């Protein structure tokens, strides 16, 4: 904690993430207007006291939509990467601990998955099964576990030769107990760092899908589909594009800064 508190960039990233979580949790209290309420009379109003971030082409309050969109971004980021972490940690642990044929099969599966361009694979699957929040979370999670599997496998290959693992085996501990009680807790550090970076990547992927019309569907607000709706009025309503773009930029930057800080903290070979 002392090291982390001395890393100002990581603290800045963590503070931004906490602020985003607060906005997402208290969006109904923070938002002053209905995020889906249409008011054509107030269409494309510039930022003002009544509408701090202005309104879009349908007169919807942009601040309210951005607040609710933060919920979508964080939900998809954490749930999708959580799913990827569960799959990656379990398969990587089995590959590292069991070795032999099991390791070869799992690592070849990882290699096959890595051969496909991830974003285009997600586009193809979403186009086939249909775009909605659940499908976006599921597909991002199912296509993002390979890096975590490699990380935990490498850690377990090193840890399984330690004396305390041999002692545990001699006492009759099962493979499941050894993996869950000794190996995963001691090798999870790099996966935690990868998790933080993965959330940033998932938020960026969701924004890209929504911008292309294959993510969160209107009128449900998402930073990506707000950008998509704003590109047609860029000349007269620059704020409709600027603010969601900044939200994506700052959020991804915050997670990356926090991830860098955690990597420095959890890797004893890196000094400050």
Task: Estimate the crossing angle of helix 62-98 against helix 146-159, to 10 degrees.
Answer: 40
pTM for this entry: 0.90
Please give the Cα distance from 76 to 82 (Å, whole number): 10
Shortest CA distance to 207 belongs to which of 199, 198, 216? Answer: 216
Instruction: Give 76's contacts (C-beta < 8 A, 6+ positions apart).
Output: 133, 136, 137, 140, 202, 203, 206
**pLDDT tens track for 22-46:** 999 999 999 889 998 898 898 999 9
**pLDDT tens track for 67-104:** 999 999 999 999 999 999 999 999 999 999 998 899 99
- As a whole number of angstroms, the longest Cα–Cα distance in the chain is 77
The CA-atom distances, in angstroms, between 250 and each of 165, 201, 218 are 43, 13, 23
**pLDDT tens track for 135-167:** 999 999 999 999 999 999 999 998 988 898 889
Peptide bond into 100 cis (omega under 30): no
pLDDT at residue 167 in the model: 92
Q: Which domains does the chain have, with CATH numbers?
A: 2-29+73-266 (1.10.3720.10)
Task: Estimate the crossing angle of helix 189-211 against helix 146-159, to 10 degrees.
Answer: 180
């Amino acid at each position: 904690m002392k090291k982390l508190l001395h890393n100002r960039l990581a603290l800045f990233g963590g503070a931004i993430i906490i602020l985003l979580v607060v906005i997402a949790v208290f969006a109904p209290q923070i938002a002053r207007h209905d995020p889906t309420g249409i008011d054509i009379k107030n269409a494309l109003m510039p930022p003002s006291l009544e509408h701090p971030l202005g309104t879009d082409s349908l007169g919807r309050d942009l601040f309210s939509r951005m607040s609710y969109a933060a919920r979508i971004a964080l939900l998809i980021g954490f749930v999708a990467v959580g799913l990827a972490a569960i799959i990656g940690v379990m398969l990587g642990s089995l590959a590292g601990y069991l070795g032999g044929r099991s390791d070869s099969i799992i690592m070849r599966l990882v290699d096959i998955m890595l051969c496909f361009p991830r974003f285009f694979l997600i586009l193809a699957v979403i186009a086939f099964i249909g775009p909605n929040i659940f499908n976006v979370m599921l597909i991002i999670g199912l296509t993002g576990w390979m890096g975590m599997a490699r990380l935990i496998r490498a850690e377990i290959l090193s840890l399984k030769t330690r004396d305390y693992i041999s002692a545990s085996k001699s006492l009759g501990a099962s493979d499941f107990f050894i993996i869950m009680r000794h190996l995963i807790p001691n090798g999870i550090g790099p996966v935690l760092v990868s998790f933080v970076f993965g959330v940033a990547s998932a938020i960026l992927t969701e924004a890209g899908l929504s911008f292309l019309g294959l993510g969160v569907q209107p009128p449900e607000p998402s930073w990506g589909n707000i950008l998509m709706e704003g590109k047609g009025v860029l000349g007269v309503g620059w704020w409709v594009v600027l603010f969601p773009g900044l939200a994506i930029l700052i959020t991804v930057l915050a997670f990356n800064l926090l991830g860098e800080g955690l990597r420095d903290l959890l890797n004893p070979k890196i000094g400050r």
